[in-house]
């Protein structure tokens, strides 16, 4: 069981044309900020809880819960995971409208290692939009089911 708090600064004055929010140049979002990929680690404060269960040597069941808030209500919320091709920077922003509650997320994953160099991951995530998302979207919730195969050397 792990409980934690992570925060990345926001820009105290979005009107001064200087970007002062923390910028995570090489993000690894899934592991720390939810598998639903709704946020980048910029202008973000989150409380989280993680539970890992190991029912067998080759099996891991993990449950993660996140509560996301804007670190600075006057700065936009950042989403994306970085550059993915030569034409796209890979980040975007959403205005907070002076609100701080971004939302909550639950992630459930099952990892199975049937062979020493093969790892299979199945997951389900649900993002429940808070005040920031309710002001921007008709349907502020998001859900995703995913599967991953990793082959190790």
pLDDT tens-digit readout, 102-139: 999 999 999 999 999 999 999 999 999 999 888 888 77
The model's pTM: 0.84
Checking 20-28 for CB contacts under 8 A at 24+ apart, the result is: 21/72, 21/75, 21/78, 25/82, 26/82, 27/81, 27/82
pLDDT tens digits for range 51-84: 999 999 999 999 999 999 998 888 888 887 777 7
Higher pLDDT, 133 or 85: 133
User: What is the reported pLDDT for 96?
Assistant: 86
């Amino acid at each position: 069981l792990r409980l934690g708090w992570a925060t990345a600064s926001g820009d105290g004055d979005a009107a001064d044309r200087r970007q002062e929010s923390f910028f995570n140049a090489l993000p690894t979002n899934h592991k720390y900020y939810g598998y639903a990929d709704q946020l980048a680690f910029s202008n973000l404060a989150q409380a989280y809880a993680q539970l890992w269960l190991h029912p067998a040597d080759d099996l891991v069941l993990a449950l993660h819960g996140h509560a996301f808030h804007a670190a600075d209500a006057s700065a936009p919320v950042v989403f994306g995971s970085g550059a993915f091709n030569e034409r796209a920077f890979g980040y975007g922003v959403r205005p907070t409208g002076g609100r701080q509650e971004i939302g909550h997320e639950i992630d459930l994953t099952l990892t199975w290692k049937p062979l020493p160099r093969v790892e299979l991951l199945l997951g389900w995530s649900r993002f429940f939009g808070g005040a920031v998302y309710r002001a921007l979207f008709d349907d502020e919730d998001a859900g995703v089911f995913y599967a991953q195969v990793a082959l190790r050397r």
